[in-house]
Structure 1
Amino acid sequence: MATGYSAISSYSRVQILHLLQTRPARSIAELSEATGLHANTVREHLQRLIESGYVVTETEHRATRGRPRMLYSAASGPDAPRSPVARRKVQDAAARGDLMRKVMPWTETGLPQRAQHQLDALVEDLQDAGFDPVVDEQELTVDLTPCTHAQSQAQHRDVLCGVHVGLMQGVLAEAGGPLEVEGLLPTCDPSQCHVQLTMAP
């Protein structure tokens, strides 16, 4: 899928995700102030992120009178709130992966089924985000080179990489299995991106 169609192809959405990964349960007004974007623009970006399963909402619990605000959080990481969109995406990816391995048994990796389902979900999510991931099931690495995101937004590479790692952690956690993101392998080339996974006991 082309990067232009990705929910995280816009740096403004990446910036919003970064803020929500750093501190969840933020309001539109808070995000607008932090990003400098108009509240309506923030609302549109949030809707796109919700539709992609990256952000979830909750209604503020108020002890005082007044209309409660809608609060937004990133659906990233093992302790993050769950997104029904993300849940459906990982289930669909696992079903497609199982069908592919049934039709093409030579694609079987030998990994535990839950780990394989995690990889199914991770690969599909990365493809939807505009990447062309290459997975090494033996070394448990994911090669995302070349990273078009880092090339187009080189000055924001740290934020981009942090958000992408958080999204990968969220997908693996939603799929439920032994695989976790250990981190990015060091490189001096901004177009190079290799993610190291780890298998929990």
Structure 2
Amino acid sequence: MVGTSGTYSAISSYSRVEILHLVQRAPQRTIAELAAATGLHANTVREHLDRLVEAGHVVRETERRTTRGRPRVLFSAATGEADTSSSVLRRKAREAAERGDLMRRVMPWTSMASGAPATELGTEAVHQIDAIVDHLAESGFDPLVDETALTIDLSPCPHASAQSGHRDTLCTVHLAIMEGVLSGARGPLHVDGMHPSCDPAQCVVQLTSS
């Protein structure tokens, strides 16, 4: 589910995927901890983290210390929640919503998907879809959204053969990224999971509305 351009290029390296997976599983990790877990040099980890922060996948914070000593820099996955909200994702969500609203005013027929008006989802959900579609499109995908079934079809999955040995980790990381984008856009939609398929090239993500 990863392209080779745009935002997702930040995790085109499996080392960055591995780092992102670690901070998704346990937030507030230090560079030293991530270097020990991955076997990478601390400077290499720092460079990877900088790239992930710039892409909006990771947020950094300074440790709040009650004792003497230099506070550490802690890294967590961007989830859209108050403590792990990425300003990059928020900015991109605003820009995607503005573009989507403009397109719907200029070309109102684009509000139709699978025979149902997009406005039936509500403004917040529509803006979330704007954010996730924009995010995937700028990453080299051509996502097919069914707003009635709440699915996003990304088939064929480029990772069906590329880095196939890491596919489970890649899918886990990428689904979490998508959830972060939706959460950052603020609305009722969330990632529910991926449709099971005997064909690894098939990639359909199921959303749910809370």
- Determine what percentage of the aligned residue pairs are the same residue: 62
SS at structure 2 position matched to 1:65: coil
Q: Which runs of 4+ in 1 moved over 6 A?
A: none
Provide closer, same or farther for how the CA distance between residues 80 and 132 of structure 1 changes in structure 2, counting only shifts above 3 A: farther
The equivalent of 2:148 in structure 1 is 138
Asked if residue 10 in structure 1 is aligned to residue 13 in structure 2, the reply is: yes
Provide closer, same or farther for how the CA distance between residues 11 and 150 of structure 1 changes in structure 2, counting only shifts above 3 A: farther
How far does residue 55 in structure 1 lie from its aligned partner after superposition? 0.7
Out of 79, 86, 89, the position equivalent to 1:83 is 86
Contact 2:5 2:138 in 1 (8 A): no
How far does residue 2 in structure 1 lie from its aligned partner after superposition? 5.6
Deviation readout 1:6-61 (Å, 9 max, x if unpaired): 11211111111100000000011111111111111111111111111111111112
Asked if residue 154 in structure 1 is aligned to residue 155 in structure 2, the reply is: no
The equivalent of 1:96 in structure 2 is 99
The equivalent of 1:21 in structure 2 is 24
Q: Which moved more, 1:87-96 or 1:55-64?
A: 55-64
The equivalent of 1:54 in structure 2 is 57
Provide closer, same or farther for how the CA distance between residues 150 and 25 of structure 1 changes in structure 2, counting only shifts above 3 A: farther
Contact 1:87 1:175 in 2 (8 A): yes
The equivalent of 1:122 in structure 2 is 132
SS at structure 2 position matched to 1:182: strand
How far does residue 133 in structure 1 lie from its aligned partner after superposition? 1.1
Deviation readout 1:41-87 (Å, 9 max, x if unpaired): 11111111111111111111223322111110000265661111111
Aligned-residue RMSD, C-alpha: 1.7
Q: Which moved more, 1:8-17 or 1:23-32?
A: 8-17
Q: Which moved more, 1:165-174 or 1:61-70?
A: 61-70
Deviation readout 1:74-117 (Å, 9 max, x if unpaired): 00265661111111010000001111111110011232111110
Out of 171, 187, 202, the position equivalent to 1:177 is 187
The equivalent of 2:69 in structure 1 is 66
Provide closer, same or farther for how the CA distance between residues 183 and 70 of structure 1 changes in structure 2, counting only shifts above 3 A: same
TM-score normalised to the size of structure 2?
0.89
TM-score normalised to the size of structure 1?
0.93
Contact 1:28 1:43 in 2 (8 A): yes
Aligned length: 200
The unaligned stretches of length 5 or more in structure 1 are none
The unaligned stretches of length 5 or more in structure 2 are 112-117
Q: Which moved more, 1:143-152 or 1:65-74?
A: 143-152
